[in-house]
Amino acid sequence: MNKKLFRSCVTPVAAVALGLIIGAILIASQGSSPITAYQAMLVGGLRDSDALLRTFQKATPLIFGGLAVAFAFKAGLFNIGGQGQLLIGAVFAAGVGFGLDGLPMVIHLPLALIAGGLAAAIWGGIAGALKATSGAHEVIVTIMLNFVAGNLTDWLSSSPWKDNSGDRIIARTPPIEPSAEIPTWGALPVGFLLAILVAIMCWFVLERTTFGFQVKSVGFNKDAARYSGIRIGVITASTMAISGMLAGFGGAVESLGVDGRFEAGVNVGLGFEGITIALLARANPIAVIPAGLLVGLMQAGASRMQFKADVAPEIIDVIQALILFFVAAPTILRWILRFQNQTDEDLKLGVGWGSK
């Protein structure tokens, strides 16, 4: 067993286990059987191709959102704006998806994806550029931009880009053209493959390129990075832009591969889940994939769990919160499991706070 791999796995695995145990106690205290409940959850997320498809669909935006947060972490930046960036990506991908027609799929689909990613990159880049030029804290700016994005996408989908056919009540865009639809191969949505591909690319950029080295240098020690000639401002701005683009891809894939349009209010909360995923994966782009799959599975199985075991579906949110709590507070885990001191592997989440 690779010692380093083991050490980096033990905290998340223990956190998931503890979260599920406490979840089981809560389920039992509601008078339901945890076994029935968890069994129903697994069946609901894995049983047949429909269930698998749902799990993959739920996991896809989580992976993109997780990558967005993880990438920013590497430069010591905390991107809380995943939700807004995802919405921007979703609405602009849908805009290109329904707005252009007569294009072949090989052009239309990538164009719509890139439109969503690019718009979200600009959205994330605003926070990065403000941080680089004026020192405005990215946590505050990204939170505020979430509201702006929410209202901007509401307005786009209820006024200029509104679908005026049919009932006309719902604030949503017309359906995208078939040539912009991301296909599904059996139980496998192509958007999910895209997420895996992007995760591998993130790993490659961070671990095997000069740019990635610079990003991590800024995250590790800003002063040393500046002293060694890295332009902190450029790295900060471009990292936030990439982070925004990753979240935006998540939204674009939702519009083009799952919803078939943009609808105000249907992507609520998706972007925020990325924070859980990134923490669970300890900001490792490859580990984001299993983390996203795990939470995606829980969400896909939640309805069936509720149906078969009479458990309130919120239990999934509670378990997710518990996992996040244990991952973010490894001291508690260490006390429970009596690990040896392993501070070397701890993620420095606090770097972004209060630093100039």
Partner 1 sequence: MTSTWRRLFALLAVFGLLAAACGSDDSDSASEAEAETVDFKIGLVTDTGKVDDKSFNQSAWEGAQQAAAVIGAEVDYIETEASKDYEANIQLFLDDGANVIVTVGFGMGEATIAAANAHPDVLFIGVDQGQWGGVIPNLAGLIFPEDKSGFLAGALAGMLTESNIVGAVLGTDLVPPVVAFKEGWENGARYTNPSVKTISTYHPGGIDVAFGDPEWGATTSRQVIDQGADIIFGAGGSTGNGALIEVAATEGLYCVGVDTDQWTTVPEAQPCLVTSAMKLIDIGVASLIADAYAGVMEGGNSIGEVGLAPYHDFESTVTAEMRATLDEVLAGLTDGSISTGYPLS
As measured in angstroms, the least distance from the Cβ of 32 to partner 1 is 8
92-131 binders of partner 1 (CB under 8 A): none
Backbone angles phi, psi at 99, to 5 degrees: -75, -30
User: Is residue 42 a contact point for partner 1 (CB under 8 A)?
Assistant: no
As measured in angstroms, the least distance from the Cβ of 229 to partner 1 is 40
User: Is residue 34 a contact point for partner 1 (CB under 8 A)?
Assistant: yes
Which residue among 337, 345, 350, 353 contacts partner 1 (CB under 8 A)?
337
User: Is residue 12 a contact point for partner 1 (CB under 8 A)?
Assistant: no
Which CB sits closer to partner 1, 132 or 171? 171
Of the candidates 322, 312, 303, the residue with the CA atom closest to the CA atom of residue 43: 303
User: Is residue 158 a contact point for partner 1 (CB under 8 A)?
Assistant: yes
Which residue among 49, 209, 307, 348 contacts partner 1 (CB under 8 A)?
307
Say whether 185 sits in a helix, a strand or coil: strand
DSSP state of 47: S
Which CB sits closer to partner 1, 33 or 184? 33
Tell me the β-bridge partners of 189: 184
Question: Of 34-42, 84-92, 224-232, 237-245, which segment contacts partner 1 by CB under 8 A?
Answer: 34-42
Say whether 260 sits in a helix, a strand or coil: coil
Helices (H), the chain: 3-29, 34-46, 49-74, 82-99, 105-134, 138-158, 190-208, 210-220, 222-227, 232-253, 270-280, 288-309, 314-328, 330-337
216-275 binders of partner 1 (CB under 8 A): 258-259, 263-266, 268
Which residue among 8, 184, 221, 303 contacts partner 1 (CB under 8 A)?
303
As measured in angstroms, the least distance from the Cβ of 159 to partner 1 is 9
Which CB sits closer to partner 1, 157 or 284? 157
Exposed (0-12), middle (13-18) or buried (19+): which is 313, by Cβ within 10 Å?
middle
DSSP state of 184: E
As measured in angstroms, the least distance from the Cβ of 230 to partner 1 is 36
Question: Of 6-14, 175-183, 218-226, 285-293, which segment contacts partner 1 by CB under 8 A?
Answer: 6-14
Of the candidates 302, 324, 297, 298, the residue with the CA atom closest to the CA atom of residue 312: 302
As measured in angstroms, the least distance from the Cβ of 154 to partner 1 is 4
Backbone angles phi, psi at 346, to 5 degrees: -70, 145
Question: Of 78-86, 202-210, 282-290, 307-315, which segment contacts partner 1 by CB under 8 A?
Answer: 307-315
Residues whose CB is less than 8 angstroms from the CB of residue 21 and which lie 6 or more positions away in sequence, other chains included: none
Exposed (0-12), middle (13-18) or buried (19+): which is 155, by Cβ within 10 Å?
middle
Residues that bind partner 1 (CB under 8 A): 3, 6, 10, 13-14, 17-18, 20-21, 24-25, 27-28, 33-36, 38, 50, 54, 154-155, 157-158, 166-167, 169-171, 258-259, 263-266, 268, 299, 302-304, 306-307, 312-313, 336-340
